[in-house]
Structure 1
Amino acid sequence: MTSAVRELRPGLQLASTVCGVRVIVVRAPAGPAPGITCGGEPMVPLDAAPSAPGPTGEAATLIGKRYEDSEQTIELLCTSSGSGVLSCDGAPMTLKAAKALPASD
């Protein structure tokens, strides 16, 4: 049986119930957890997740990439790719851009 995430905290591992996406929470706001979904279905703690379905197409969420919500309060690190798209409270999460390194003159 799967259970909803009640609170996000750094280090928490989440899994999709519809594809092979797995993420680790890097940054999260205090308080109740917003609705984190993948492929339109709520993500669950890794220990409550069913076995990962096999590949079902091209990966939309990529391993090793960081995703953040529009307000930049939640950051997730993808540890396993899959075809589902990550969303926070119904809005798609975006790929976090790398910070530019300072020029070395």
Structure 2
Amino acid sequence: MVELRPGARFQSTVCATEVIVVKGTGPAELTCGGAPMAAAGSTERSGEPSAGASEGTLLGKRYGDQDETIEVLCTKAGPGSLALGDLPLAVKVTKPLPASD
């Protein structure tokens, strides 16, 4: 379990994925590749992402849950997929800018 706060950086323990918290506070079970994430720079990678959590992450994309209680920005892509507990985090859809005539 990690303590979420905007600006906090986390890294996967099983792949190269790194994220920054954009929205969300309090304790949460943030995982990547089926394994708990750790504070950036605090641990070495070991193992591989689990088969059910290996969809990958995309650099520069924001991920969030359906209730919009958490949002993270991927700063380093990897083969593991992000989740909050048992709920996978999905890529947030960008909103188009209004047309200027």
Q: TM-score range by the shorter chain?
A: 0.7 to 0.9
2:33 matches 1:39: yes
Letter in 1 for 2:23: R
Q: TM-score, normalised by structure 1?
A: 0.81
Deviation, 1:33, is 1.7
1:26 to 1, 22, 25: 22
Give CA-to-partner distance per residue, 1:80-103, whole Å, 9 cap, x none. Answer: 110000001211100011012112
Number of the residue aligned with 1:89 = 85
Give CA-to-partner distance per residue, 1:49-88, whole Å, 9 cap, x none. Answer: 21588xxxx9710111110012111111001110000001
CA contact (8 A) 2:14 2:45 kept: no
Q: Distance in 1 between matches of 2:76 and 2:83?
A: 16
CA contact (8 A) 2:15 2:45 kept: no
Distance 1:51 1:40, change over 3 A: closer
Deviation, 1:40, is 0.5
Deviation, 1:34, is 1.8
- When the two structures are aligned, how many residues end up with a matched partner? 96
Give CA-to-partner distance per residue, 1:4-31, whole Å, 9 cap, x none. Answer: 41x20111000000000000001113xx
Structure 2 unaligned blocks of 5 or more = 48-53
